[in-house]
Amino acid sequence: MSIKSRFQPLLEQRAKEHLYRRRPLATTAQDTAMQINGVQTINFSSNDYLGLANHPALKNVLQETGDLSVGSGAAHLVTGHHLEHHLLEDELADWLGFDRALLFSTGYMANLAVQPALMQKGDWIVSDKLNHASLLDGAQLSSAELKRYAHNDMDALEKRLKQAHKDNIQCLVVTDGVFSMDGDLANLPAIQKLAQKYDAWLLVDDAHGIGVMGSQGKGCFEYFGLQADENTILMGTLGKAFGTSGAFVAGSEVAIEALIQFARPYIYTTAMSPVNAKVTRAALKLVKDADVRRQQLMDNIAFFRKGAEAIGLNLMPSESAIQPILLGDSEVAIAWSDALKQSGCWVSAIRPPTVPKDTARLRITLSASHTHAQIQQLLEALAAIQAKSST
């Protein structure tokens, strides 16, 4: 059998079901207004929540990196661990109140690392059903048994933990902080309470909360007024609110040392660029002092939701920068997305298998850099599409 004979029918079927994915081509800098596929558009599909990806202060830091190599040249455990990496890890840990932090090239790589390294045969990984794909993949790479619970269902979570505790099974509870396709928040206070009650460990992927939620953008733990304990592991990304790239895992001294010794995606991967680490250190300073930007983002979210509700759009219950409009049918979601692009607003259609069957949606993401005028243009375009589709 050839590759073509196996996959050509699958590709054709995916296209027939309106599930085919294509890469849009950006030809300008990441920003709220940018050129994508040759069209000038307002970008409502970026995770650049604080508008730092094209910030002049970060671009200026690039002028100060003449003594740094562009590439790290090796893995952290060989010769790739530069002083800039070390300082960034220390600064992230201090900021978030953890013993240590460990850098990874991407959030996906970080999530592939933690569960296989920490969980052993006979353990349980107890995971929210709407967790990010990388968390699911990380669990499946582990020797532990994966147990999933209905989204944010604390009764279902407790049932799993109670059974494991009774049978003396070590559990790791795994959850997103902000769910990337729905935009809602994990019930972190209840989850932490249950994890502590039943002696479970806790892994929180706060990719969409770090930099945005809580005082100084410290994320969902800070937002809920919680303190992470020694059995908590936090994953955060640097390619969203920070505006750079990469990720980190924060935890106790022992947890981080365990990852250094046993996490294959860390051991066998070339370290991120020292240049990126230096720019990210500057981004961290901006994030800490970005209360005005965070408030602007919250204002933009409120402005959008008020306008969307006024025209009767089917919003999902999200208080984050991720504002999905549920449409259900994949073909309809693509049609709405294409119509928005023709109106000058870039909004991606999210379809299965990224989201469950019959829950295709527009995933609108807002930034502190969006103006109310830009958001109003989006709302007017949505209103026109809705009016046309109802006739």
Q: Residue 331 belongs to what H/E stretch? A: helix 330-342
Q: Does 180 appear as a known binding residue?
A: yes
Q: In terms of Cα–Cα distance, which of 51, 75, 117 is closest to 255? A: 117
Q: Which of 240, 278, 341, 370 is catalytic?
A: 240
User: Which pair of structure tokens corresponds to residue 4?
Assistant: 């073509």
User: Which pair of structure tokens corresponds to residue 229?
Assistant: 């304990």
Q: Does 132 appear as a known binding residue?
A: yes
For residues 30 and 54, the answer to whether their CB atoms sit within 8 Å is yes
Cα–Cα dist 269/22, whole Å = 28
Q: Does 294 appear as a known binding residue?
A: no
Radius of gyration over every alpha carbon of the chain, rounded to an integer in angstroms: 21
Q: Does 106 appear as a known binding residue?
A: no
Q: Which of 46, 105, 134, 180 is catalytic?
A: 180
Q: In terms of Cα–Cα distance, which of 283, 281, 305 is closest to 379? A: 305
**Is 240 tagged catalytic?**
yes
Q: Does 55 appear as a known binding residue?
A: no
Q: Does 122 appear as a known binding residue?
A: no
Work out the angle between the directed axes of helices 253-262 and 107-118 (0-180°, nearest 10). Answer: 100
> What is the secondary structure of 180-238 as a DSSP string?
TTT-PBP-HHHHHHHHHHTT-EEEEE-TTTTTTSSGGG--HHHHTT----TTEEEEEES
**Is 4 tagged catalytic?**
no
> What is the secondary structure of 78-113 as a DSSP string?
III--HHHHHHHHHHHHHHT-SEEEEES-HHHHHHH
Sheet containing 360-365: order of strands: 322-328, 360-365, 348-350
Strands 33-36 and 39-43: antiparallel
Q: Which of 76, 208, 218, 278 is catalytic?
A: 208
Q: Does 354 appear as a known binding residue?
A: yes
**Is 180 tagged catalytic?**
yes
Cα–Cα dist 225/370, whole Å = 28
Q: Does 23 appear as a known binding residue?
A: no
Tally of residues, the chain: 391
* Catalytic site positions: 180, 208, 240
Q: Which residues are annotated as a binding site for substrate?
A: 21, 132, 354
Q: Which residues are annotated as a binding site?
A: 21, 107-108, 132, 180, 208, 237, 354
Q: Which residues are annotated as a binding site for pyridoxal 5'-phosphate?
A: 107-108, 180, 208, 237
